[in-house]
């Protein structure tokens, strides 16, 4: 597996402790990545892909954006170009998360393992003391999205619908009408996260090279970016799922002797983890 000293994720659970966590992050990174100083940290456990926990639900890049911008952008840059204001102070150059070629070699499970436990060299501190597993997956979802775009994923989804959905299913669950048997489930995060896009492409070529043979390289990778989106929500997709319920309310005139209030139009906004989602 490729080296993954690439993602610095530190954040608090609530706005009231973000400053404290940021201060702790600065101390940790200053000690571990500071000029000429390395503080011993427990070595990470061996990376066993099958033992990496899958997220409980699809990680949302939209929800992970706050984690990334507050805690990763200072090194990795707002757009993942590795040009954050703290990057020049580090002994190890931050990974460029906007490099599509490099990101194709990284399996999400490997990225999660290193973000949680740190790297063997100490270049990547372990951030499990600051974030739980779901928060790490959310931040990784946003970091992953920086190498692609809505235009690319949309184009890939259209090509997938034309060439793949008949067997693999419109939603990637391996249940398309032309499938002779149940195929692999592209929505299975446990199985998909242990594979890089490069490995998925290798599997595609080995299983049925004739399908997509007429696609250029950009189109092939667009299809695979679309397939990857079966296991996470890109930042242009909201995690909010509207229900069919009805909210009732009553407006009360609180001023004695005043005329009754006329019907009022009320606008509601939906928030998840302090992030507006609808």
Domain boundaries, the chain: 15-145, 150-228
d(CA 277, CA 236): 10
d(CA 117, CA 65): 21
Highest mean pLDDT among 1-15, 27-41, 113-127: 113-127
For the chain, state the CA radius of gyration: 22
b/e string for 200-211 if b means 16 or more Cβ within 10 A? bbeebeeeeeee
What's the pLDDT at 34? 35
Inform me whether the pLDDT recorded for 38 exceeds 50.
Answer: no
CATH topology of domain 15-145: Cytochrome Bc1 Complex; Chain D, domain 2 (1.10.760)
Of the listed ranges 41-45, 212-216, 219-223, 250-254, the least confidently predicted one is 250-254
pLDDT greater at residue 38 or residue 58 = 58
What's the pLDDT at 91? 85
d(CA 16, CA 116): 23
Q: Which class for 61: exposed (0-12), middle (13-18), buried (19 or more C-beta within 10 A)?
A: buried
pLDDT digits 0-9 by tens, 172-210: 999 999 998 999 999 999 999 999 999 999 999 999 889
Q: What is the percent of the chain where pLDDT is above 70?
A: 83
Mean pLDDT within 63-89: 89
What's the pLDDT at 2? 36
Cα angle 87-93-94, degrees, rounded to a multiple of 5: 70
Inform me whether the pLDDT recorded for 14 exceeds 70.
Answer: no
pLDDT digits 0-9 by tens, 111-148: 999 889 987 877 777 878 888 999 999 999 999 999 99
Tell me which residue of 195, 194, 192, 184 sits closest to 50, measured CA to CA: 194
Cβ proximity of 144 and 153 under 8 Å: no
């Amino acid at each position: 597996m490729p080296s993954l000293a690439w993602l610095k994720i530190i954040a608090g659970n609530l706005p009231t402790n973000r400053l404290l966590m940021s201060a702790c992050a600065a101390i940790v990174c200053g000690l571990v990545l500071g000029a000429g100083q390395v503080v011993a940290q427990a070595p990470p456990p061996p990376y066993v892909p099958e033992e990496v926990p899958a997220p409980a639900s699809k990680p949302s890049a939209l929800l992970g954006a706050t984690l990334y911008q507050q805690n990763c952008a200072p090194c990795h840059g707002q757009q993942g170009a590795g040009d954050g204001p703290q990057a020049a102070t580090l002994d190890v150059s931050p990974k460029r998360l906007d490099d599509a070629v490099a990101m194709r070699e990284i399996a999400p499970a490997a990225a999660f393992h290193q973000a949680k436990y740190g790297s063997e060299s100490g270049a990547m501190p372990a951030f499990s003391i600051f974030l739980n597993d779901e928060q790490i997956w959310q931040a990784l979802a946003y970091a992953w999205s920086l190498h692609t775009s809505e235009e690319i994923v949309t184009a890939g989804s259209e090509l997938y619908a034309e060439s793949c959905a008949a067997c693999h299913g419109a939603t990637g669950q391996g249940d398309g009408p032309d499938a002779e048997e149940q195929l692999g489930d592209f929505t299975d995060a446990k199985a998909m996260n242990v594979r890089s896009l490069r490995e998925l492409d290798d599997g595609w070529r080995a299983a049925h090279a004739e399908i997509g043979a007429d696609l250029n390289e950009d189109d092939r990778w667009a299809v695979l970016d679309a397939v990857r989106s079966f296991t996470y929500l890109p930042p242009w997709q909201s995690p909010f799922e509207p229900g069919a319920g009805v909210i009732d309310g009553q407006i009360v005139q609180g001023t004695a002797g005043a005329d009754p209030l006329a019907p009022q139009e009320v606008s509601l906004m939906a928030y998840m983890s302090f992030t507006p989602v609808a």
